[in-house]
Structure 1
């Protein structure tokens, strides 16, 4: 329902802002502002996007956590889309998303709202054929598991053209 509201409310708000700003500045200055924000937003998005990509590559090379650069990149992409969309409201949000401290605050707010749950599954099967979920246990670095060989095909017969599939013959 909120998505429907956004698709109705944002264009109405944009039209109202166009009327107000156009009444104050006139047609051509209003159109010039819209075009300039699209051009400036594209340039800023490109520059910040490239630096975020370099940060992501550096994080991956160091074996670090890539979630920060990925979240920054996603918000920069959203900012670019909003800046390319004609309107003062979407431009305001797009410019705000291009400000690194605002993005950082938004990412930490979003991360605090995401709850992660983990489940430990027992290695034996239940009567339904599904693994029975167990509540999370304490800190343990050992993971116990069982496996079952489903067919007795010799290892050399398992090779296909990719090395990951069996030869169909």
Structure 2
């Protein structure tokens, strides 16, 4: 667990800074900042559009009496992608866009389902559902 947190909070920012400096020295500071802002705005717009679409699908499923499990998982991943896209940097932008693309988002959903099944089968983890 410590290794994953170290990766997230130390190595990723160091890699982002390195990339920002490298790109900035190649194309200049202003174009680099503009590119970071542009990708954040475009990603936020895309996340908003996909989020609204997912909300509509959730409501349709609920209106028909179905549990919108897939749509809820999509919503969580789209929200995560939006947060990652708002974080300045190129690696986070790539990660956010990969989560937003339906093809790659399905891979993330499969991974999350697998992890959830592992947690559910762990005798030390207790999951209950209340109605």
TM normalised by structure 2 equals 0.84
Equivalent residue in structure 2 for 1:31, among 27, 30, 33: 33
**Structure 2 partner of 1:63:** 65
- Tell me the CA shift for residue 67 of structure 1: 1.3
Question: SS where residue 66 of structure 2 aligns?
Answer: coil
- Tell me the CA shift for residue 91 of structure 1: 0.5
Equivalent residue in structure 1 for 2:20, among 18, 21, 31: 18
Equivalent residue in structure 2 for 1:90, among 89, 92, 112: 92
Task: Between the two structures, name the one with larger relative contact order (CA 8 Å, sep ≥ 6).
Answer: 2
Higher strand share: 1
* Superposition CA RMSD, Å: 1.2
Quick one: distance in 2 between partners of 1:98 and 1:8?
24
- Tell me the CA shift for residue 5 of structure 1: 3.0
TM normalised by structure 1 equals 0.66
Moved over 6 A (4+): none
Higher helix share: 2
Mark the structure with the bigger radius of gyration. Answer: 1
Quick one: distance in 1 between partners of 2:103 and 2:7?
28
Deviation per CA, 1:99-132, whole angstroms, max 9, x where unpaired? 0111112102221232235xxxxxxxxxxxxxxx
Question: SS where residue 114 of structure 1 aligns?
Answer: helix
Question: Structure 1: where are the runs of 5+ without partners?
Answer: 118-169
